[in-house]
Chain A
Amino acid sequence: MSSSAASPAALTEPETVGDISQPPSSGEVLWDRVFRRMTLGIAGFTVFLTIYVVIRIGRVALPAINSYGAGFLTGTTWDANRATFGVLPAIAGTLYSSILGLIGGTLFGLAIAIFLSERFLSTGLENLFKRLGLEGLGFWATFPDRIENFLRVTIELLAAIPSVVYGLWGVFVVIPAIRPPSQWLYTHLGWIPTFGTSLSGPGLLPASVVLAIMVLPTISAISRDALVAVPPKIREAAFGIGATRWEAILAVFLPTAATGIFGGVILGFGRALGETMALAMLAGNANVLSWSIFSPANTLAALLANHFPEAGGVEVGALMYAALVLLAITLIVNIIGTIILQRADAALKGLR
């Protein structure tokens, strides 16, 4: 902001131009200063708040950190009655369910992003209109764009559904729907560790299915942006050397946008890690360590949500310790995501 550096003398210089351009009045200068201070103050307060939260949690967690140490991370029981606390099953459950959810979410999110960014729908509809003789006629000319926009907004609206609604939907729709195929997998392929137990009800798989839908809007929105940002030069060059549409998408556009897409995936991962309510309702809240995707599991966020209201004494410290662990995991994932996104931006800049 160079105007901030302007000396007071510059402000009082006589003006010769008409009343459209005038030196700023003293009120405007004052307001400008106040406004800048205010934004600085509010921005600073946000940073302070973040640090304050971490410090407060850390302070409450300190006794637990001292008494349980690293054994907390490898322990497998959470028993407030015996003051034994370990979060390994919760860490494993958090990562396992998030990764499974992410695989599903990426698959569908990326497919949607390609569908929306490569104008599949528009081309199809335009051909249809051409055949019907409607091309270029007012409403019909903008129709494909409108419908594409509608689809995009609808998918982004998935992010607006409260997670408790996802949880209920999971309990009453997803679990009954996936029980028969899961049972089949267990009886026929039970020797594979991932299908090693039967699905009784809540478990990793239903939790992951719902997580996949929850992270889908994040992934599809960012991937679509990344695909749209692929420079026209590259697009034209790909088709120019005779690539088919699929060859162009798979061999040229996706690799070009890959870093951006990956950043979206990492941000989705961050969201999946912190998801609480839906997982508390669907994962089964059992401290079980198992490779089976049908086994009930626990996650750090669900552990906190379930135990905090009734916790007392040492358990509060242990829960705060678990909160710090979750915070560290999400922080690392988000930092990696941000770095990748920045790299993607820088890489694309060279191409424009």
Chain B
Amino acid sequence: MRASRFTRLSLIIVTVSIVFLSALRRHGSAAADDAITLQGAGATFPAPLYERWFAEYNKLHPNVQINYQALGSGAGIKNFQQNLVDFGASDAAMTDEEMAAVKQGVVLIPATAGSVVLVYNLPDGPAGVRLSREAYVGIFLGKITQWNDPAIAKANPGVKLPDTKITVVTRSDGSGTTFIISSHLTAISDAWKSGPGAGKSVNFPVGVAGKGNPGVAALVKQTPGAIGYVEYGYAKQTSLPMAVLENKAGKFVKADIKSAQAALASVVLPANLRAWITDPTGDDSYPIVSYTWLLCYKKYDKSNVWPELKELIKFGLSQGQSYSEQLGYVPLPASVIDLDTKALDQIS
């Protein structure tokens, strides 16, 4: 036996690797034709809506493939700053400092909006429990620990609240959802402002934490007496009861598309399209609402990227808005879409 097992083995390895490498090459050259892949990364909050946009857009333009990685707002901004993606997405608009780090310049495009709701789990308890500002700030600060606390009972005359311990459920991972609710709490409460403060991950004084909207929803569902915050679309899907919150005008408002639109209407977007709706005015405004932004470079180096991306965003701003309501997002007001379209024209 002259040809040893080793020799044969090495022959097999060489053949396999040649076949494999050539397969890789063929795959690579096919993708390079006139097809284009747009890379995006960022917020998880609007991800279901964006993914819907991208899927629908891909049906109309099969040559455009969009990879959107829902890594979270912070990671979206980081990847965007490092030029790893063609566009980013974030629930917290970039700060001036963050924008300064991008040398091509940044254009922020509000792409959709959504509200954050407080979902709770009260065994055979009432639906639509009303929470005053004092009550929900107190709950998240750990000052109100029982569901039958006078601060909650006062706003719910005639409702029998159980003598159950409140378990606050928060997000364990950094997230835009946390940013939105903590900014709101900071705006309405000095105790919160000097305590936990606002940010993508906040040092909550009480409670347990779950990963992502699904983690929070699962914990709330599993824990009698729990209250947690998730985005509106997610709460609707899981059919957990949502608390009715007191707004700036002192009115109790249910979370839905209409009340969120009222909140958006209360704020006029400035020229840079960056607005923090931390505490909207108006009788019908739901208090915890935010825009979420697409991040684009002011100037794109690769000539073929921007025309396609522009078409894609335009699609999202027009036809894309019609998917919003069904997925639990707020369709943008016409005035905002006008401003967005103007902003898109600044980009080259």
Interface on A for B, CB 8 Å cutoff?
25, 27-28, 31-32, 35, 77-82, 171-172, 175-176, 198, 200-203, 280-281, 284-287, 296, 302, 305-307, 309-312
A284 to B225, CA, bound (A): 16
Number of A-B contacts (CB under 8 A): 105
CB of B173 within 8 A of CB of A310, answer: yes
Q: How far is the CB of B200 from chain A (nearest CB, A)?
A: 5
Given A31-B7, A200-B226: A286 in contact with B201 (beta carbons within 8 A): no
Q: How far is the CB of B206 from chain A (nearest CB, A)?
A: 8
CB of B175 within 8 A of CB of A310, answer: yes
Q: List 7 A-B contacts (CB under 8 A).
A: A32-B6, A81-B196, A302-B172, A307-B173, A310-B75, A311-B174, A312-B77
CB of A286 within 8 A of CB of B6, answer: no
Interface-facing stretch out of B25-33, B207-215, B328-336 = B207-215
Which residues of chain A come closer than 8 Å to B219, judged between CB atoms? Answer: 171, 201-202
Q: Check if B318 is an interface residue, CB within 8 A of chain A.
A: no
Q: Check if B78 is an interface residue, CB within 8 A of chain A.
A: yes
Given A286-B204, A286-B208; 13 other pairs, CB 8 A cutoff: A25-B2, A28-B4, A31-B4, A77-B203, A80-B199, A81-B199, A198-B165, A203-B208, A281-B210, A281-B215, A285-B211, A306-B173, A309-B173
Contact of A78 among B2, B200, B203 (CB under 8 A): B203
Q: How far is the CB of A72 from chain B (nearest CB, A)?
A: 16
Which residues of chain A come closer than 8 Å to B226, judged between CB atoms? Answer: 200-201
Given A79-B203, A171-B219, A285-B208: A312 in contact with B196 (beta carbons within 8 A): no
Q: How far is the CB of A44 from chain B (nearest CB, A)?
A: 20
Which residues of chain A come closer than 8 Å to B223, judged between CB atoms? Answer: 175, 200-201
Which residues of chain A come closer than 8 Å to B198, judged between CB atoms? Answer: 81
CB of B74 within 8 A of CB of A81, answer: no
CB of A310 within 8 A of CB of B200, answer: yes
Given A175-B222, A200-B165: A306 in contact with B172 (beta carbons within 8 A): yes
A81 to B200, CA, bound (A): 9
Q: Check if B100 is an interface residue, CB within 8 A of chain A.
A: no
CB of B225 within 8 A of CB of A200, answer: yes
Given A200-B165, A281-B210, A285-B209: A309 in contact with B6 (beta carbons within 8 A): no
CB of A171 within 8 A of CB of B218, answer: yes
Residues 177-210 of B, flagged 1 when their CB comes within 8 A of A and 0 if not, give 0000000000000000000111111111001111
Interface on B for A, CB 8 Å cutoff?
2, 4, 6-7, 10, 71-75, 77-78, 165, 167, 169, 172-175, 196-204, 207-211, 215, 218-219, 222-223, 225-226
The listed residue with most A CB atoms (<10 A of its CB), out of B72, B75, B203, is B203
Which residues of chain B come closer than 8 Å to A172, judged between CB atoms? Answer: 218, 222
CB of A309 within 8 A of CB of B74, answer: yes
Which residues of chain B come closer than 8 Å to A296, judged between CB atoms? Answer: 207-208
Which residues of chain B come closer than 8 Å to A77, judged between CB atoms? Answer: 203
A176 to B208, CA, bound (A): 16
Q: Which 8 A-B pairs have the closest CB atoms?
A: A310-B174, A310-B74, A201-B223, A284-B208, A285-B172, A79-B203, A285-B209, A200-B167
Q: How far is the CB of B292 from chain A (nearest CB, A)?
A: 15
Which residues of chain B come closer than 8 Å to A307, judged between CB atoms? Answer: 173-174, 201
Nearest chain-B residue to A168 (Cβ)? B218
A35 to B4, CA, bound (A): 13
Contact of B75 among A176, A203, A309 (CB under 8 A): A309
Q: How far is the CB of A190 from chain B (nearest CB, A)?
A: 14
Q: How far is the CB of B43 from chain A (nearest CB, A)?
A: 11
